[in-house]
Amino acid sequence: GTIDAPIARHPVDRLRMSVQESGRPAVSHYRVLQRFAAHTYIRVELETGRTHQIRVHFAWRRHALVGDPVYGGRLAIPAGASEELATTLRSFRRQALHAERLVFAHPVTGSTIEQEAPAPADFVDLLAALKRDAAAR
């Protein structure tokens, strides 16, 4: 799918961004990789690069990222979650967001720079707990 919704600074909370008609264009393309009982693992490709774009777009669609206190609110443990998943979610202390691949133009030469990074251990552990929880239901 695609989320095409302009983003601007939040009108009240100046530390946050929000979807607003008066904002700058922001387009996020996403693909569902795996669905779990109460979570979805997705891949997102940005057409634009606005501040907090992924977090703002998905919170606006009411699908905030795990571990995002700014745009997602307080932690919610899904009904029927295994104790392992509940513990893993409680201990995940950041947004469940990982830039696997970045591609951008070098600011001086204009040449294409591409960087890749494997998912960190806490992210891998979270996905594993989600998979085990879904399989046990």
pTM recorded for the entire structure: 0.92
Q: What gap in Å lies between CA 71 and CA 47, rounded to an integer?
A: 21
Q: Which pLDDT does position 137 carry in this prediction?
A: 85
Mean pLDDT by 10 residues, the chain (137 residues): 98 95 98 96 96 98 95 92 97 96 95 97 97 93
Q: What gap in Å lies between CA 9 and CA 84, rounded to an integer?
A: 37
DSSP codes of every residue in 101-120: EEEEE-TTT--EEEEE-PPP
Q: Which pLDDT does position 43 carry in this prediction?
A: 97
Q: Which of 33, 39, 30 is nearest to 1 (CA)?
A: 30
- C-alpha 22, offset from chain centre: 23
What are the residues facing 41 on neighbouring strands? Answer: 34
What are the residues facing 75 on neighbouring strands? Answer: none
